[in-house]
């Protein structure tokens, strides 16, 4: 089972890019972020024609998350992160697909820091920690997947000194991410590629992608049941080089049907 996350940075304008990538990569399950489209504007017909069912949680102009599947019915279990009934931002969607529980998320950016947006980011991460605590010990595989807007460590960013004042690299945000790992989640990319330079986002300016001046903020966290089935974890660089593309690129894993024995695939 191939599971991917992709921040499309506007599904209306990037739909041709998304459809091209789906046809090329053929992931079984995909979590999308930054739809930037109201609920009624999600391109369901085009997604269906590409061979995928979909559920989505839209929001006009900002945010928005979705789960796509080409391997069977999507059984939605939650829409919106619990813990704040007044939070109207569309940042979390959860569903069971093919025997795996998928928690799709788009974590707040948090800039400028300090300020109310950074406070909201940290509060949202506390809510995420509380909710994922109810999922981490499930016997079924669970994958918490999406744009976390957190650069976990120095090796996840080109020139760390340039990001020291950014909310994505703030000590508080990194500590909150580490708290999730300490809860029992496995960072799939770093689990299989502990020492490699791997990024998932590059700014549009100054030829950042061409220079590989990027950051790693799109993550797949696995509970123990999912980690035991992990075969491959990688970043698909191809879409980031296409014209009119997102500033993110897909990150994906492959899970086996049973626990993996022996050495797993690396890049």
The string of pLDDT tens digits covering residues 42-98 is: 999 999 999 999 999 999 999 999 999 999 999 999 999 999 999 999 999 999 999
Read off the DSSP letter of residue 144. E
Using a 10 angstrom Cβ sphere, with 0-12 exposed, 13-18 middle and 19 or more buried, the burial of residue 136 is middle
How confident is the model at residue 112, as a pLDDT? 97
The token pair that represents 44 in the structure block? 């369901």
Q: How many CB atoms lie within 10 A of CB 250?
A: 27
Q: How far apart are the first and last CA of the chain?
A: 18
The string of pLDDT tens digits covering residues 82-91 is: 999 999 999 9
d(CA 7, CA 246): 7
Architecture of the domain made up of 2-255: 4-Layer Sandwich (3.60)
- Name 104's bridge partners: 93, 145
How confident is the model at residue 260, as a pLDDT? 85
Whose structure tokens read 């990688």?
234
d(CA 142, CA 179): 17
Cα dihedral 219, 252, 225, 127, rounded to 10, equals 30
Q: Using only C-alpha atoms, what is the Rg of the chain?
A: 17
Q: Are strands 251-255 and 230-235 parallel, antiparallel or unpaired?
A: antiparallel
The CA distances from residue 60 to 36, 64, 256, in Å, are 6, 8, 37
- The backbone region for 69, taken as left when phi is positive above 0, alpha when psi lies in -120 to 50, beta otherwise, is beta
Residues in the chain with pLDDT values less than 70:
262-267
Q: The whole model's pTM is what?
A: 0.96
The token pair that represents 225 in the structure block? 């049941």
| CA angle, 132 then 136 then 141, to 5° | 115
């Amino acid at each position: 089972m191939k599971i991917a996350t992709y921040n499309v940075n506007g599904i209306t304008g990037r739909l041709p890019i998304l459809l091209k990538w789906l046809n090329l990569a053929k992931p079984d399950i995909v979590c999308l972020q930054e739809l930037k489209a109201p609920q009624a504007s999600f391109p369901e017909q085009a997604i269906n024609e590409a061979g995928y069912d979909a559920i989505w949680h839209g929001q006009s102009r900002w945010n928005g998350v979705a789960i796509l599947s080409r391997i069977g019915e999507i059984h939605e279990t939650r829409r919106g992160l619990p813990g704040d009934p007044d939070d109207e931002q569309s940042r979390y969607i959860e569903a069971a697909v093919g025997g795996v529980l998928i928690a799709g998320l788009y974590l707040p950016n948090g800039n400028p820091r300090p300020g109310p947006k950074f406070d909201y980011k940290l509060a949202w991460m506390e809510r995420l920690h509380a909710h994922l605590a109810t999922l981490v010990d499930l016997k079924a595989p669970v994958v918490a997947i999406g744009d976390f807007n957190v650069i976990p460590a120095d090796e996840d960013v080109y020139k760390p000194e340039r990001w020291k004042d950014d909310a994505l690299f703030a000590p508080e945000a990194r500590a909150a991410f580490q708290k999730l790992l300490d809860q029992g989640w496995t960072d799939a990319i770093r689990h299989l590629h502990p020492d490699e330079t791997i990024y998932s986002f590059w700014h549009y300016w100054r030829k950042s992608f061409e220079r590989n001046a990027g950051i790693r903020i799109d993550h797949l966290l696995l509970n123990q049941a999912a980690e035991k089935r992990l075969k491959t974890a990688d970043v698909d660089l191809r879409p980031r080089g296409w014209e009119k593309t997102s500033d993110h690129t897909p990150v994906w894993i492959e899970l086996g049907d049973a626990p993996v024995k022996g050495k797993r695939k690396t890049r």
